[in-house]
Each structure stands twice: as structure tokens, then as C-alpha cells.
Structure 1
Amino acid sequence: MTTVELRFSALPEHVRTARLVAAAVARRAGVEEAVLDEVRLAVGEACTRAVGLHQSAGIDAPVQVRLIEEEKQFSIEVEDEAPRSGPDAVISGESAESEDEMGLAVISGLVDEVEVTAGESGGSLRMTWPTPGH
């Protein structure tokens, strides 16, 4: 298993860099060329979502991205530190919730296997694509 970790300040201008790194690592991992655009779009959406959650909650911590190459699959985990429950919950109001749901819907349309976890200490979004066995 090979893992590349990327941490960046929660600023929109860094999302493009995350997309480029993710596409390069996915290509090296053996993700089919035809799927790389979907990887770029999904990572961009996931990172934009995490940046927005950090900015809404006033969190200075970096967004973390893990690019994981395993046998027969390539996964990307995007982690944020924005709380989802309790008095400091970041998602409040219908517009914030619908915007978050829209981002997740776009990602679900691009990626077959998506796992979302969220709690008081933040959230994680894991996306997985198949690769040919090495």
C-alpha cells in the first residue's frame, strides 16, 4: 500500500493543486485514463466542500487529503475538522445543508463507492475507484 498525504490551508485557491496532485497519483496507481476527469472533478468537489466547512466554522486547521494506492483500488480521503453536531456545529440553516447535500450528490454521481463520516471533531469523505491488479 502506498499513501501520499497532502495538507493545505483551507483556501479555495489550493483546491486546484489538490486536483492536479490527485490526478497524477491516480494515473500512477493505474486508474483508467477515461476515469481521470471524474477523479479530478470529485476531488475538486470534496476539497471545495471541506474548505467551505472550515471557512464557515472559522477553523484555521488545514484540509487533509490522503491518496491511497492499494491492490486493485485507488482511494482518496478528504478530511476536515468542522464539527457536525453539538453547539459548534457548522452546518446550520437550510441553505448550508442543501449546499452540502448538493456537493455530496455531485460526488456520488462521479464515484461508485463513497463513504461519508461526520461527528463533533470533523468529517471524512472517502472515494474509491478500481484499478487493474499490479
Structure 2
Amino acid sequence: MPTVELRFSALPEHVRTARLVAAAVARRAGVDEAVLDEVRLAVGEACLRAVGLHQHNGLSGPVRVVLTEEEKKFSIEVGDDAPTAPGHVPAARSTAETHPDPDGDGNASGPGGDDADVDDEMGLAVISGLVDDVEVTASESGGTIRMSWPAATAAPGS
């Protein structure tokens, strides 16, 4: 059963709130203080990815964040509604939306080119580097990034 569930409009300005709530719930769950920055960063990347997917696909539904406090584990799921062919992880945003034209040649990524899949893979790589236990799933009805961290058996102050 979720400890906290957030739903927010797919706008980048709401990602900060999701990061703050995730860090607060993680602290309450007993996640080590030294790991809280990683929780914030990973949630931020996952939420930005979901926001990008919604905007790129013209979706109006909310981004979903479910935070679950278990006995020895704290989990976060970030869900989107972006349809995906089975076995393919969708690109979240186009390079033109996320990268200015650095060298003025009309190519948003600079020399050599880039595409939305590369940008999306970077975000997923950041998450994978921050979280030992991460799972990314995608389907025709949307995708989910599940992340978890070890937590104390009894949260401080409970």
C-alpha cells in the first residue's frame, strides 16, 4: 500500500515539488541521510522524463509518483501515459526542446547530431548510476520507473 501518492500536471515546474516530497518521505522511512541527495536526483530525472514523454506525445494526463515505505525498503514509482511498442523504451523529449543550438548550424545537439533517444538514454543512465535497484517498464498504456533504497526497520520518530 502506498505511503504517499502524487499526481501532477506534466509541467517541469512541478518536478521540484515531487523531489521535495520524495526526500521527506524517504527521510521518514529511514533512508540513510547520505543517500537523500541521490533520491532527490533520481526522482527528478524520472519525473522530468515522464513530463517530457507527456509533452512530446501531447498527453494531458497527470504524471504519477507513488512512494511506498516498507519494512526494510523505500520504493518510488514514477509513471507516465506514453504509449510504447513492447520492448522499446520511448524517448522523452526532442533534442530541440532540451538543447539549444550551441554552434548555430541548425542542429540542436552540435556537431555530429543527436536524437531524442540519446537524450532519454542519458536520463536513464543517470538514474541507473544513482539507484542500485531500478526497473524501467514500458507498454502500450504507459511506462513506469521503479526505484528502491534500503531503509531502517523503524523510521526515526515513529
> Which category of TM-score, normalised to the shorter sequence, fits these structures?
over 0.9
Quick one: percent identity of the two aligned structures?
A: 73
After TM superposition, the structure 1 = structure 2 runs for residues 1-134 of structure 1, keeping only pairs within 5 Å, are 2-85=2-85, 91=91, 95-134=115-154
Structure (1 or 2) with the larger CA radius of gyration: 2
Task: Tell whether the 8 Å contact from 1:84 to 1:91 is kept in structure 2 after alignment.
Answer: no
Give 5+ residue unaligned stretches, structure 2.
95-113
Please give the per-residue CA displacement for 1:1-56, whole angstroms capped at 9, x wherever unaligned: 55200000000000000000000000000001000000000000000000000000
Give 5+ residue unaligned stretches, structure 1.
none
**CA RMSD, aligned part only?**
1.9
Deviation at 1:99, TM superposition (A): 1.1
Aligned length: 132
Task: Tell whether the 8 Å contact from 2:72 to 2:152 is kept in structure 1 after alignment.
Answer: yes
Structure with more helix by fraction:
1
Q: Which runs of 4+ in 1 moved over 4 A?
A: none
